[in-house]
């Protein structure tokens, strides 16, 4: 775990968000059969030919010499093509190459979607009390299997996706920089969340609730508990990358937009 960030500029915190995301995927790739990490000349991302969805087939970091970018783009495109993986290339405001968006468009990429990178000061987090709802930290293989099964069901993943997540949790240990939570309604496991301590910030991932238990505030509550645990560890900032579905919930919790991350598809 890197040194905890106490004070930082806007750009430094955006970079921390991005580095936390990359660290999370790198850790996953070390324990997964289906998710692979790409790292070449300042270009970092992930790919998974057998799971052709944008969230795990993307370039996240572009930090290369501008004069070399044309060659790098071509090499990355060829690599993903040979692997049979779709390629989504993200544009963050902290990219070293000044006009990644235009360079991508000129190379046949088209706009796909965008999402907000968000941040919260942990001293702003407050717990919303709920009845008949209990949250437990994953501490053993039985819990990890319950978590992985929920993850697979909630995100409608193939068996390989659930198994990769299970292996990541088990192999990372239960008192490490990766901590996972399960929420129970009257002993029934219904929601999940994971927090990853990396790049000086606490990153929230994989928040999800079983469909029949949605709109009860469980996703918000389990996220709040994870963030308060981060505060107890001495962290100052929590970060995440939001889906459309979770955006308003995170806003109500006190998360603020850092930037919009645009994604372009080859």
Residue 39, pLDDT score: 96
Residue 151, pLDDT score: 95
Q: Are residues 238 and 177 located together in one domain of the fold?
A: yes
Tell me, yes or no, whether 174 lies in a domain: yes
Q: Are residues 81 and 27 located together in one domain of the fold?
A: yes
Tell me, yes or no, whether 63 lies in a domain: yes
Tell me, yes or no, whether 265 lies in a domain: no
Residue 129, pLDDT score: 84
CA atoms of 31 and 165, how far apart (whole Å): 8
- Provide long-range contacts, Cβ within 8 A and 24+ apart, for 169-177: 169/138, 169/144, 170/141, 170/144, 171/30, 171/31, 172/27, 172/31, 174/137, 174/138, 174/139, 174/140, 177/1
Q: Are residues 29 and 74 located together in one domain of the fold?
A: yes
Domain membership of residue 244 as a residue range: 121-259
Domain boundary among 65, 81, 116: 116
Residue 97, pLDDT score: 64
CA atoms of 27 and 237, how far apart (whole Å): 21
Q: Are residues 198 and 248 located together in one domain of the fold?
A: yes
The model's pTM is: 0.95
Q: In what order do the strands lie in the sheet with 133-137?
A: 36-40, 43-47, 58-62, 88-91, 256-265, 110-121, 237-241, 201-209, 188-198, 178-185, 133-137
Helices marked H in the chain — which ranges? 10-31, 69-83, 100-106, 141-154, 159-172, 218-232, 244-253
* Strands 88-91 and 58-62, sheet pairing: parallel
Domain boundary among 85, 116, 147: 116
CA atoms of 162 and 149, how far apart (whole Å): 6
Domain boundary among 77, 96, 116: 116
Chain centre distance of CA 136: 21
Residue 95, pLDDT score: 77
- 1-to-23, 63, 172, 197, 240 alpha-carbon distances in Å: 10, 22, 13, 7, 17
User: pLDDT averaged over consecutive 10-residue blocks of the chain (266 residues)?
Assistant: 89 97 97 94 94 95 81 94 97 81 91 97 90 95 96 92 94 91 96 98 97 93 97 98 93 96 95
């Amino acid at each position: 775990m890197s040194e905890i960030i106490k004070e930082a500029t806007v750009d430094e915190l955006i970079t921390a968000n991005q580095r936390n995301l990359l660290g999370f995927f790198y850790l996953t790739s070390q324990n997964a059969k289906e998710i692979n990490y790409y790292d070449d000349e300042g270009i970092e991302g992930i790919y998974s030919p057998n799971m052709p969805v944008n969230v795990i087939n993307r370039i996240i970091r572009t930090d290369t010499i501008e004069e070399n970018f044309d060659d790098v783009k071509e090499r990355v495109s060829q690599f993903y093509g040979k692997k049979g993986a779709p390629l989504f290339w993200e544009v963050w405001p902290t990219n070293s190459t000044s006009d990644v968006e235009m360079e991508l468009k000129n190379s046949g990429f088209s706009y796909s979607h965008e999402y907000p990178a968000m941040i919260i000061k942990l001293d702003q987090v407050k717990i919303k009390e709920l009845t008949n709802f209990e949250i437990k930290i994953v501490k053993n293989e039985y819990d990890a299997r319950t978590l992985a099964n929920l993850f697979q069901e909630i995100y409608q993943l193939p068996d390989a996706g659930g198994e990769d997540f299970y292996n990541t949790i088990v192999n990372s240990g239960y008192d490490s920089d990766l901590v996972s939570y399960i929420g129970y309604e009257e002993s029934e496991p219904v929601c999940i969340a994971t927090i990853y301590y990396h790049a000086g910030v606490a990153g929230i991932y994989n928040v999800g609730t079983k469909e029949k238990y949605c709109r009860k505030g469980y996703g918000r509550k389990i996220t709040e508990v994870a963030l308060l645990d981060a505060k107890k560890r001495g962290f100052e900032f929590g970060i995440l990358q939001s889906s459309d579905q979770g955006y308003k919930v995170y806003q109500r919790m006190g998360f603020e937009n850092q930037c919009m991350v645009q994604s372009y598809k080859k």
